[in-house]
């Protein structure tokens, strides 16, 4: 496994996009965890772009499942795109693919996250009266 990973974060009014390049494993997952913790302090929608991740192990799978659970609990929209062949196979073999959100592209994920954020704000906005 390669210990080099590049995690970049970009923000816009629709939320945060974290782009990952490199292998996600027990040595590199802490960098992604740190980036997601920092990026979501503002409670905006988050999109993970994994198009640059050719390999991920079970540690990465656990991290993604934990992130999904954490975000659901806090009401923060999360979406993921760009699963390559091996990560897709890992998700399929572990029957986890249906547990994680998946978008076809960063643009599609931003649309989904923006809609989810609107829905969450409508649900949590107190009624006037």
Give tens-digit pLDDT for 84-98: 999 999 999 999 989
Q: At what angle do helices 85-93 and 58-74 cross, to 10 degrees?
A: 80
pTM value is 0.78
Instruction: Report pLDDT digits (tens) over 7-61.
Output: 999 987 778 899 999 999 999 999 999 999 887 776 678 899 999 999 999 999 9
């Amino acid at each position: 496994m390669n210990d080099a990973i590049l995690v970049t974060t970009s923000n816009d009014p629709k939320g945060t996009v974290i782009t990952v390049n490199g292998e996600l494993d027990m040595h590199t997952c802490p960098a992604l965890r740190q980036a997601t913790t920092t990026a979501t302090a503002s409670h905006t929608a988050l999109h993970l772009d994994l198009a640059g991740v050719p390999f991920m192990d079970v540690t990465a799978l656990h991290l993604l499942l934990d992130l999904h659970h954490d975000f659901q609990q806090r009401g923060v929209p999360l979406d993921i795109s760009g699963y390559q062949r091996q990560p897709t196979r890992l998700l399929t073999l572990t029957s986890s693919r249906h547990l994680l959100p998946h978008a076809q592209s960063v643009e599609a994920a931003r649309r989904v996250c923006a809609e989810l954020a609107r829905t969450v704000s409508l649900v949590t906005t107190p009624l006037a009266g």
